[in-house]
Amino acid sequence: MFLKYAHIPVQRPTEGFIMSVSEAERFDLQVGLRLFLGDDMANTLMEHLPPSGWSDVARTRDIEFIDKRIGMLEKRLNVVITVGIACGLALVALQVQIMLSISHL
């Protein structure tokens, strides 16, 4: 069966690169799928593909890495908050001590 493409195919090097699919290529894929699978099945299949290519989809290891980084930032933030509170309390205690010392003069 002869398929008429909506664009002129371009050869692209793929060694070492993840190439995303253009909108014209997605359209060609959908046209071809409709011919072989019918409109409903082709549309269902196309709806399950990411809109901009698989290179933009986060993988499990990407999420795990981000989760680990957030955990590290959370620990650092807890330390900063704890030190800030301790310093604040120390200043309040110092002010109280100074006020008591002045009142005894």
Using 50, 70 and 90 to split pLDDT, how confident is the model at 17?
Answer: low
Tell me the angle at which helices 39-47 and 23-37 cross, rounded to the nearest 10 degrees.
Answer: 140
Check residue 26 and give its pLDDT: 82
Check residue 11 and give its pLDDT: 53
Give the pLDDT confidence of 22-53 residue by residue, as tens digits: 778 888 888 999 999 999 999 998 888 877 66
* Contact (CB, 8 A) for 31 and 13: no
* For the chain, domain boundaries: 21-57, 59-105
Question: Is 70 exceeded by the pLDDT of residue 20?
Answer: no
Q: How far apart are CA 41 and CA 33, in angstroms?
A: 8
Check residue 105 and give its pLDDT: 80
Residue 41 CB contacts under 8 Å (≥ 6 apart), including other chains:
33
Question: Is 60 exceeded by the pLDDT of residue 4?
Answer: no
Question: Is 70 exceeded by the pLDDT of residue 67?
Answer: yes
Using 50, 70 and 90 to split pLDDT, how confident is the model at 12?
Answer: low
Using 50, 70 and 90 to split pLDDT, how confident is the model at 64?
Answer: very high
